[in-house]
A and B are shown apart, each in its own frame.
Chain A
Amino acid sequence: MPDLPLPDARFADIPLGLALLVLALWLIATRRDRSAVIGFTAYGLLVAVVWVRLGAIDVALTEAALGGGLMGLLLLTAAARLGEPRGQPAPPMFMRLLVGLLCVGVTGVLAVVVLSLPTPAPNLVAAVAEHQHTTELGNPVAAVLVAFRAVDTLLESVVLALAVIVLWSFAPDAAWGERPRTLELGTPGPALVLLARLLPPLGLVVGVHLFWAGADDPGGPFQAGAVLAAMATLMWLARLGAPPPVQSRLTRVGLVVGPLVFLLIGLAGVVAADAFLGYPEGLTKPLILIIEAVKTLSVAVALALLVAGPPALPGNHLPSRAAS
């Protein structure tokens, strides 16, 4: 790789790779939920650094925000609610040996395949570069996500909205119409409250910047939405506000407006650009900006609601599992 700025940058990769391997092994070996979650969060951040080293800044931002940040928070609350795991009998020795051998076999096959991948890998970089100008976007990742492979991005944002409805459907019937209460974890400390007062204005600026910059530089609706969702979560944790109840029409509009506007503009493309999910010449950039703006909002709403959990009755932080 001749374009690396310093020859010794590659030496940083060796400890990075080693740390990743050690952390991964430790994650498999550890028996305690809490330490596994903390390890997983650290692992996500390390992976983000690896993505930076590979030059994929967009992926790194997403990994840090989602894999390291919100996932970690979700898993920590889950681990806290599960309590200490009940002891399970250890599997018999031959079973452990068998599974070990099978894992070695699968890893071996994967290693052979990965090492046999052609270098340089056949890729679409040239094709993207050739057609990127039609989208009037400077960031090739954004061009792929919102134009060339728009259908995948649309369906992924539909999955996000659907996930919230699914989460809500786990609530007991009596709690339907209530607000989520998973984040009501005792009285917040003064440091948390201070942080929740100071950070959100800053986070709002960072989020909007990530969305705006995403057109030409790394960033975009997913990363921006994740930052905004983190700010909302912080305020809810500090009890400076509360998640909205599931019946709130405004919340539901916020949840679906992103994919809905995306789909409607895509359908308008049938008439205006002669293709579903196509953009008419001249209007491409404004339409894409509208799509990205509402998507940022919907991603933020969906992620924040996913962390907030299913609706629950007051004083009952755990959804009832005794029904039926």
Chain B
Amino acid sequence: MSLPEVLAPWLDGPRAAELLFPLLALPVLALLLAPLLGARGARLLTLATLLLGLGLALAAAAALTAADAPLVYALGGWAAPLGVVLQLDGPAALMLLLTAFVLSAVGLHAARDFGVAAVGRRATLAFWMLLLGVWAGLNGLFLGRDLFNLYVAIEVLTFSAVPLVCLKGGAGQLTAAFRYLLFALLGSALYLLGAGLMLGLHGTLDIGQIAERLGGLMMAEGVDPAAADESVRMASLVAVALMSTGLLAKTALMPLHLWLPPAHGGAPAPASAVLSALVVKGSFFLLFRLWLDLVPDLRALDVGLLLGVLGAFAILLGNAMALMQERLKLLVAYSTLAQLGYLFLLFPLAGAGGPAVTAALVQVVSHALAKAALFLLAGRVLAAFGHDRLPRLDGFGRALPGTLLVLLLAGLALVGLPPSGGYLVKTLYGQAAGADAWWWRLVLDLGGLLSAAYLARILAVALRPPAPAAPGTTPKAGSRVGTLGLLVPGLLALGALLLGLLPPSLFALLDIGRADMGSATAVAEVMRTALTPAVFWSSTGPVLVVALAVMLFHIGGDSAWQRGIGAAGRELAGIEGDLREWRVAGALLLMIFLAQVLAVLP
């Protein structure tokens, strides 16, 4: 028998659901074997397992496409509510694929930097084990349907992600990791409290069964939702608000972002890439499950609007703060905060049907690819110069032309020029908003222009004539940043930039198991006009104008209006700094919970 025939029962047949549990078991098995093999063995084992896992994720996506309906696997043969069930639908398959791909790419890129010879046994063993832990936690989150099982998965994720921040062991990194740990644990406690309430209210933890009890399915079939006990309904929504608040803290949606900039800015570059590209998406994906799958009718609640307003706030403030950062890695970290904001526009716009869900999922992919590339590139700059302070990096483009080029490509994907993923996201969200809700489109456009501005600032720095030799302004002698190291970031950046050129039929994967979606048609529709001169220039023109203005601003001298803008920026930075105070962030956390409670009440 040929290989396809042997694999047929799994890829297109009765055993397809058996592809689900290995996606969870494989990283866990590798994680447990790694300490027995030691630091050197852990690296090889992780790389081999990641590639195997990528194959598994591809197989699962193929099996899902063949089945064209969600795949369900009951662990131990026990059905919910007694047992725990894994389920694979379109969005989950996308996340599994993305995670396996980005982790493999970052792993291959980090293979040289995180070896025993380079960083010692301690950091090597820890890095590769933590990478496996992140992977196990994320896969558990994507496949889970049980609120407590999801809690365990998110704990595996948190306990693997936090130590990645302080692998170098410096005082600043330890402080950043501790801040991350405390805020993330606060989020876990809130989530667990909500999950416990759910069990007390419904006697089951299965998202599908709770949704059914809450009347979602009944409403879809036209039965009166008043049959559901009103007080149980209200208490359930408060429980979701509790879980949601905890997950917002873990996702670092502004203004709950006090932990993210130091953590993502201070971690080793490959760790930052994983944290920014994947880890924060894990808790976002759970928010997606709660508000879209568990809550019967998000449209009837004001909470979508609340989350959308916070997202818009994050887009504007995050991008503006990115523009003002002195350190390249912090700039990229603030850009992550802004890009996370785009994900939350899903909630006010999801009511309009498909395009918003497609947009949010494309945004997850697009940002993951572009941001992983950007952090790896920032790591190259850091390795070459020994620092990443933009004021002392004048002319770095001459020393590292390849790095600059790939950095611009990844940046353009974030700005949202066609045919990038960012362009798809903006256009699809714009369609979902419709003609009346122009303010969402305004936020999207302003966000894109602000991203263009910080990209132009990096370009201006890179092209300025290098300063006369001073420490840190020229690449360190013997720093090893070969061209081969551009392969992975280049691949990731191109992936984000050319996302729209994928065959639209591939996007049909996102719709499996979800009603009211037509991703393939929507993407095909957007891309049909994207590269016509009129549409291309109408989105590229303003970006070019802003970029030119910013470059002139940075190349020009020291005039009164430049000082004025600088002073306004410092004012804004002061306010944003206050938001990152523990007391303020703690009070905001409580406020956001209470605001969500008010927004779910009738």
Contacts and interface: CB of A to CB of B under 8 A. Distances in A.
Nearest to B20: A276
Contact of B76 (A172, A269, A323): A269
A122 interface: yes
Contact of A162 (B73, B122, B159): B159
B336 interface: no
Contacts of A173: 120, 122-123, 169
Contacts of B29: 260, 263, 267
Given A99-B586, A269-B76, A166 B159 contact: yes
Contact of A117 (B36, B170, B171, B197): B197
B82 A124 contact: yes
Nearest to A274: B77
A324 B163 CA distance: 16
B590 A99 contact: yes
A165 B193 CA distance: 28
A159 interface: yes
Q: Which range contains the number of A residues in contact with the other chain? A: 35 or more
A253 B33 CA distance: 9
Contacts of A249: 36
Given A113-B239, A116-B234, A151 B587 contact: no
B21 interface: yes
B441 interface: no
Given A124-B82, A148-B78, A99 B583 contact: yes
B76 A158 contact: no
Nearest to B597: A109
Interface in B395-443: none
Nearest to B151: A152
Nearest to A128: B82
Contacts of B75: 150-151, 275-277
A162 B169 contact: no
B390 interface: no
Contact of B126 (A114, A156, A169, A277): A169
B173 A324 contact: yes
A22 B74 CA distance: 45
B352 interface: no
Contacts of B168: 323-324
A105 B591 CA distance: 9
B49 interface: no
Contacts of B232: 116, 118
A95 B584 CA distance: 8
A274 B18 CA distance: 10
Contacts, number: 192
A323 B169 contact: yes
Given A118-B232, A121-B203, A131-B82, A166 B76 contact: no
B56 to A, nearest CB: 14
Interface string A308-324: 00000000000001111
Interface in B118-171: 120-123, 125-126, 129-130, 133, 136, 140, 148-149, 152-153, 155-156, 159-160, 162-163, 166-171
Interface string A256-296: 10011001001101100111111100000000000000000
A54 to B, nearest CB: 13
Interface residues of B, number: 73
Contacts of A256: 32-33, 35-36
Given A273-B77, A276-B76, A321-B171, A165 B591 contact: no
Interface in B205-246: 229, 231-232, 234-235, 238-239
Contacts of B163: 166, 169-170
B156 A165 contact: no
B44 interface: no
A109 to B, nearest CB: 5
B83 interface: yes
What is the interface of chain A mostly: helix, strand, loop, or mixed?
helix
Contacts of A29: none
A57 interface: no
Contact of B129 (A109, A150, A165, A170): A165
A169 B125 CA distance: 9
Given A106-B593, A148-B78, A149-B83, A122 B202 contact: yes
A324 B586 CA distance: 30
A255 interface: yes
Nearest to A264: B29
Given A276-B75, A323-B169, A148 B590 contact: no
A155 B21 contact: no
Contacts of A275: 74-77
A187 interface: no
Contacts of B21: 270, 276-277
A150 B590 contact: no
A149 B166 CA distance: 33
A152 B201 CA distance: 21
Contacts of A162: 31, 129, 133, 156, 159-160
A121 B198 CA distance: 11
A252 interface: yes
Contacts of B172: 324
B83 A159 contact: no
Contact of A147 (B76, B229, B587): B76
A143 B140 CA distance: 22
Given A123-B203, A324-B171, A169 B76 contact: no
A194 interface: no
Contact of B203 (A124, A148, A172, A267): A124
A155 B152 contact: yes
B201 A118 contact: yes
Nearest to B594: A105
Contact of A151 (B149, B239, B586): B149
A277 B200 contact: no
Interface string A86-104: 0000010001001100110
14 contacts: A106-B594, A121-B200, A149-B149, A150-B75, A158-B28, A161-B32, A170-B163, A259-B28, A266-B25, A279-B76, A321-B174, A322-B171, A323-B168, A324-B168
Closest 5 pairs between A and B when the two form their complex, measured CB to CB: A324-B170, A122-B203, A169-B126, A275-B77, A102-B590
Interface of A: 91, 95, 98-99, 102-103, 105-106, 109-110, 113-114, 116-118, 121-124, 127-128, 131, 147-152, 154-156, 158-159, 161-163, 165-166, 168-173, 176-177, 249, 252-253, 255-256, 259-260, 263, 266-267, 269-270, 273-279, 321-324
Given A176-B120, A266-B25, A323-B169, 19 more contacts: A102-B590, A116-B235, A118-B200, A147-B78, A148-B76, A152-B148, A158-B31, A159-B155, A161-B32, A168-B122, A169-B123, A169-B126, A170-B163, A173-B122, A176-B122, A270-B21, A275-B76, A322-B171, A324-B171
